[in-house]
Chain A
Amino acid sequence: MSTSFLNIKNISKKFGQFSALNEISFSIKKNEFVCLLGPSGCGKTTLLRIIAGLEEATSGQIELDGKDITALPPSKRDFGIVFQSYALFPNLTALQNIEYGLKNRNFSKKEYKERALEALELVDLVHVKDKYPAHLSGGQQQRVALARAIAFSPKFLLLDEPLSALDAKVREKLRREIRSIQERIGITTIMVTHDQEEALTMADKIVVMNNAEIMQVGSPQTIYYQPSNPFVADFIGSINLWKEQNHCTRMMAIRPEHVQINAKGGVEAFVEHVEFRGPVYRLQVRVNEQSSFLFNRVMKVDVTSQAIQQFNIRKGSKISISLPHGQLLAYEEQVVV
Chain B
Amino acid sequence: MNSVLNEISPNKKVKQRIGANEWLERLLVTMVLAFFLITLVFPLLALFVQALYNKDNIFVGAQNFIEYFQTATLVSSLKNTLFISTVTMFISVTLAFFYAYSITRTRIIGKGIFRYMALLPLFAPTMMHGIALMYLFGNQGFITKGFFGLFPGVDLHLYGPVGIIMAEIVYTFPQAFLILLITLKTTDNRLYEAAETLGTGKWKQFLTITLPSAKYGLISSMFVVFTLSFTDYGAPKVVGGQYNVLATDIYKQVVGQQNLSMGATVGFILMIPAVFAFIVDQMTQRKQSTYLSSKSVPYKIGKNRKRDLAAFLYCFSITGFILILMFAVMAAALVKVWPYNLHLTLDHFSFSSYTGDGLTAYKNSLIISFLTAFFGTILTFLFAYAIEKIRKLFVYRKISYLLSIIPLAVPGLVIGISYVFFFSRPEIIILNWSISNPFHSLYGTIWIIVLANILHFYSVAFVTATTALKKLDREFELVSESMGIPFYKTFFKITVPMCLPAILEMSMFYFVNSMVTISAVVFLYSADFKLAAISIVNLDDAGNWASAAAMSVLIVFTNIVVKLLYEFGLKGLKKRTERWQLTNEN
Q: How far is the CB of B351 from chain A (nearest CB, A)?
A: 47
Does residue B295 face the partner (Cβ distance < 8 Å to A)? no
Interface size on B, residues (CB 8 A): 39
Please tell me if the beta carbons of A72 and B483 are within 8 angstroms of each other in the complex: no
Distance, CA A55 to CA B366, complexed state (A): 48
Question: Contact check: which of B19, B494, B497 meets A73 at CB < 8 Å?
Answer: B19
Residues of chain A within 8 A of B11, CB atoms compared: 10, 59
Please tell me if the beta carbons of B483 and A101 are within 8 angstroms of each other in the complex: yes
Distance, CA A101 to CA B489, complexed state (A): 11
Q: How far is the CB of B535 from chain A (nearest CB, A)?
A: 45
Q: How far is the CB of A3 from chain B (nearest CB, A)?
A: 17
Does residue A242 face the partner (Cβ distance < 8 Å to B)? no
Please tell me if the beta carbons of A91 and B580 are within 8 angstroms of each other in the complex: yes
Does residue A210 face the partner (Cβ distance < 8 Å to B)? no
Does residue A87 face the partner (Cβ distance < 8 Å to B)? yes
Please tell me if the beta carbons of B14 and A54 are within 8 angstroms of each other in the complex: no
Please tell me if the beta carbons of B478 and A91 are within 8 angstroms of each other in the complex: no
* Given known A66-B2, A75-B21, contact A104–B476 (CB-CB < 8 A): no
Please tell me if the beta carbons of B476 and A89 are within 8 angstroms of each other in the complex: yes
* Given known A74-B478, A87-B475, A104-B484, contact A10–B17 (CB-CB < 8 A): no
Please tell me if the beta carbons of A101 and B14 are within 8 angstroms of each other in the complex: no
Write the chain A residue with the least CB distance to B494: A89
Does residue B10 face the partner (Cβ distance < 8 Å to A)? yes
Q: Mark A210-250, 1 if CB is under 8 A from B, else 0.
A: 00000000000000000000000000000000000000000
Please tell me if the beta carbons of A68 and B497 are within 8 angstroms of each other in the complex: no
Please tell me if the beta carbons of B13 and A91 are within 8 angstroms of each other in the complex: no
Residues of chain A within 8 A of B196, CB atoms compared: none
Q: How far is the CB of B20 from chain A (nearest CB, A)?
A: 10
Please tell me if the beta carbons of B10 and A10 are within 8 angstroms of each other in the complex: yes
Please tell me if the beta carbons of A73 and B489 are within 8 angstroms of each other in the complex: no
Interfacial residues of chain B within 46-95, with CB under 8 A of chain A in the complex? none
Please tell me if the beta carbons of B478 and A83 are within 8 angstroms of each other in the complex: yes
Interfacial residues of chain A within 79-97, with CB under 8 A of chain B in the complex? 79-81, 83, 85, 87, 89-92
Q: Mark B101-143, 1 if CB is under 8 A from A, else 0.
A: 0000000000000000000000000000000000000000000
Does residue B485 face the partner (Cβ distance < 8 Å to A)? yes
Distance, CA A52 to CA B482, complexed state (A): 8
Please tell me if the beta carbons of A57 and B13 are within 8 angstroms of each other in the complex: yes
Please tell me if the beta carbons of B482 and A71 are within 8 angstroms of each other in the complex: no
Q: Mark B7-23, 1 if CB is under 8 A from A, else 0.
A: 01011111111110110
Please tell me if the beta carbons of B17 and A71 are within 8 angstroms of each other in the complex: yes
Distance, CA A134 to CA B498, complexed state (A): 13
Distance, CA A152 to CA B17, complexed state (A): 23
Please tell me if the beta carbons of A73 and B21 are within 8 angstroms of each other in the complex: yes
Does residue B473 face the partner (Cβ distance < 8 Å to A)? yes
Does residue A132 face the partner (Cβ distance < 8 Å to B)? yes
Please tell me if the beta carbons of A56 and B16 are within 8 angstroms of each other in the complex: yes
Residues of chain B within 8 A of A66, CB atoms compared: 2
Does residue B493 face the partner (Cβ distance < 8 Å to A)? yes
Q: For A9, A83, A103, which residue has the most chain B Cβ atoms within 10 angstroms?
A: A83
Distance, CA A103 to CA B485, complexed state (A): 9
Does residue A256 face the partner (Cβ distance < 8 Å to B)? no
Q: How far is the CB of B558 from chain A (nearest CB, A)?
A: 33
Distance, CA A79 to CA B479, complexed state (A): 10
Does residue B5 face the partner (Cβ distance < 8 Å to A)? yes
Does residue B306 face the partner (Cβ distance < 8 Å to A)? no
Interfacial residues of chain A within 28-78, with CB under 8 A of chain B in the complex? 52-54, 56-61, 66-68, 70-77
Q: How far is the CB of B489 from chain A (nearest CB, A)?
A: 7
Does residue A133 face the partner (Cβ distance < 8 Å to B)? yes
Please tell me if the beta carbons of B19 and A75 are within 8 angstroms of each other in the complex: yes
Does residue B582 face the partner (Cβ distance < 8 Å to A)? yes
Does residue A184 face the partner (Cβ distance < 8 Å to B)? no
Distance, CA A81 to CA B482, complexed state (A): 7
Distance, CA A125 to CA B391, complexed state (A): 33
Interfacial residues of chain B within 11-43, with CB under 8 A of chain A in the complex? 11-19, 21-22
Does residue B6 face the partner (Cβ distance < 8 Å to A)? yes
Q: How far is the CB of B487 from chain A (nearest CB, A)?
A: 10
Please tell me if the beta carbons of B579 and A132 are within 8 angstroms of each other in the complex: yes
Does residue B581 face the partner (Cβ distance < 8 Å to A)? yes
Does residue A100 face the partner (Cβ distance < 8 Å to B)? yes
Please tell me if the beta carbons of A54 and B19 are within 8 angstroms of each other in the complex: no
Task: List chain B positions with a Cβ less than 8 A from chain A.
Answer: 2, 5-6, 8, 10-19, 21-22, 391, 473, 475-476, 478-486, 489, 493-494, 497-498, 577, 579-582
Offer 12 A-B interface pairs, CB within 8 angstroms, sorted by A. A54-B478, A59-B13, A75-B19, A76-B19, A81-B479, A87-B475, A89-B493, A101-B479, A104-B485, A133-B580, A134-B580, A149-B482
